[in-house]
Structures are given as structure tokens and as C-alpha cells.
Amino acid sequence: MRIITAALFIFLLLLQYRLWFGKNSVSDYLELQESVAHQIAQNEKLNQRNKLIYADIDDLKNGLEAIEERARNELGMIKDGETFFRVINTDQ
């Protein structure tokens, strides 16, 4: 009976060692859980960015105001009869 008890105790110790220090242990689980949380946060940021891009695409497809705004800001275009003024900041 003592031999069986000793064998079971040793087996329990080996299982505990593997649980706390072996491969796929508790520390590995906690690291993976932190990694998943970080990835979820990063995915949420990317989803927000994608929503903004999709809204911009829809605005460009449907509205002329967005196209006009882009042409003015990015290409420097002006309408007929408008006067363009460039303000130069001299603080730099």
C-alpha cells in the first residue's frame, strides 16, 4: 500500500511540475492570453480605419462635394472666377 501511495504522490508531483513549468503551462497560457488581447485591440483599430476609408469611398462615389474638396486640397484646383491666395507661415 505504501508503494502505491508513493507512486501516486510522485505521479502527482510530475503532473504539477508539468502544469506549472512544462510545455503549454500556466505561464504560457497567460502569455498567449495577453497576446490575444493585444491582437484584438490592434484589430479594432484597423476596423475603425477601414470604416473611415469605406465612408470616404462612399462619399467619393455618391457626392460631388467630396470630389471638389479633394481636388481643391490635394491638386490645388480652383473654380472659374475664384482668386487663389497662398498664405505662407514665416514662423518656421
Residue 48 belongs to a domain:
yes
Residue 85 belongs to a domain:
no
Do 19 and 26 contact (CB within 8 A), yes or no?
yes
Where does the pLDDT of residue 38 fall: very low under 50, low under 70, confident under 90, or very high at 90 and above?
Answer: very high
Where does the pLDDT of residue 37 fall: very low under 50, low under 70, confident under 90, or very high at 90 and above?
Answer: very high
Query: How many structural domains are present in the chain?
Result: 1
Residue 72 belongs to a domain:
yes
The end-to-end CA distance of the chain, in Å, is 88
pLDDT at 86 over 90: no
SS3 83: coil
* pLDDT, tens digit (0-9, with 9 covering 90-100), for 52-76: 999 888 888 887 887 888 888 888 7
SS3 82: coil
User: What is the domain extent for residue 44?
Assistant: 24-76
Residue 91 belongs to a domain:
no
Residue 19 belongs to a domain:
no
Residue 7 belongs to a domain:
no
Residue 15 belongs to a domain:
no
